[in-house]
Structure 1
Amino acid sequence: MKCDVYLSFDGNCEEAMNFYQSVFGGEFSVVMRYSDGPPEYMSEGTEDKIMHMTLSFSDGAELKGSDVFHQPVVKGNAYHVSMGSDSDEQGEAFFNGLSEGAEITMPFQNVFWGGKFGSLVDKFGIQWMISTPHTGA
């Protein structure tokens, strides 16, 4: 079984996914615009918007997203995207990269359960949790 994160945007999916690639790396394995699909899925002004986009990582993880026009995008708070890093340095780089224009909800720091952890709401309204491995005994 595999579980992926799928994000919905109100017209800025491509900008957001390019930003996430600049923070996390990875390669786009799928970039499908509304103009690539059947005409009934496209409305005036959505031709160049993203119907589906997948950012793939070497370990098999994927971050997916799309611009959603059939219903309003409501930015909620009942979710976080949780990213585990391989090291403190990588975790700090992820956190600092996402911090541009973000609201920090917990600074990236050592935590009592081991490793480092931080959380924030990025400039696109997406909630992130960044953690590093527990390195203690």
Structure 2
Amino acid sequence: MKCDVYLTFDGNCEEAITYYKTILNGEIVMQMRYKDGPPEYSNSKIEDKIMHATITFGDGCELKVSDSFHQPLVKGNNYHVSLATDNEEQAQAIFNGLSKNGIITMPFADVFWGGKFGSCVDKFGIQWMVSVNSK
């Protein structure tokens, strides 16, 4: 299993990831804009904004980032703890446990980029993303 920090920005994600790349001597290894996703994720206001990007740096460090889409960004809700595993049963169990007595913000289900994904806010107010890679 892998755990990462996932940061959300209010429209300036591209600027932030370029800055972090320079400061951390990193490499942007993945970048997708909202216009690259399904039609429901694209509109003229956000189509060129970052839907997801990953920067690697140091000895195996990753930082995952995106521009806000689902909710207004409020400092404090601009991060998630992101868990990824190759085991679907494990991912489902983790998601079920974290979302119990919390709020499911995206049900754990198949996603257009492959595999399964879900997000929730646990009963303590911590935001989680849980994913399983497609086989």
Distance 1:14 1:44 in 2: 17
What residue is the counterpart of 1:25 in the other structure?
25
Q: Deviations over 1:59-88 (max 9, x none)?
A: 2210010001210111129x8xxxxxxxxx
Q: What secondary structure sits across from 1:46 in the alignment?
A: coil
How many pairs does the alignment contain? 78
State the TM-score, normalized to the length of structure 2: 0.53
Stretches of 4+ aligned residues off by more than 2 angstroms: none
What amino acid sits opposite 1:34 in the alignment?
Y
State yes or no: 1:7 paired with 2:7.
yes
State the TM-score, normalized to the length of structure 1: 0.53
Q: What secondary structure sits across from 2:30 in the alignment?
A: strand
What residue is the counterpart of 1:38 in the other structure?
38
Structure 1 unmatched ranges of 5 or more: 80-137
Q: How does 1:32-71 map to 2 (within 5 A)?
A: 32-71=32-71
Worse-matched range after superposition: 15-24 or 56-65 = 56-65
Distance 1:46 1:36 in 2: 11
Q: Give the drift of 1:31.
A: 0.7
Distance 1:76 1:32 in 2: 24
Structure 2 unmatched ranges of 5 or more: 80-135
Give the aligned CA root-mean-square deviation in angstroms: 1.7
Q: Give the drift of 1:40.
A: 0.8
Q: What secondary structure sits across from 1:59 in the alignment?
A: coil
What amino acid sits opposite 1:39 in the alignment?
P
What residue is the counterpart of 1:130 in the other structure?
none
Distance 1:74 1:68 in 2: 10
Percent identical: 65
Q: How does 1:63-102 map to 2 (within 5 A)?
A: 63-76=63-76
What amino acid sits opposite 1:31 in the alignment?
Q
What amino acid sits opposite 1:9 in the alignment?
F
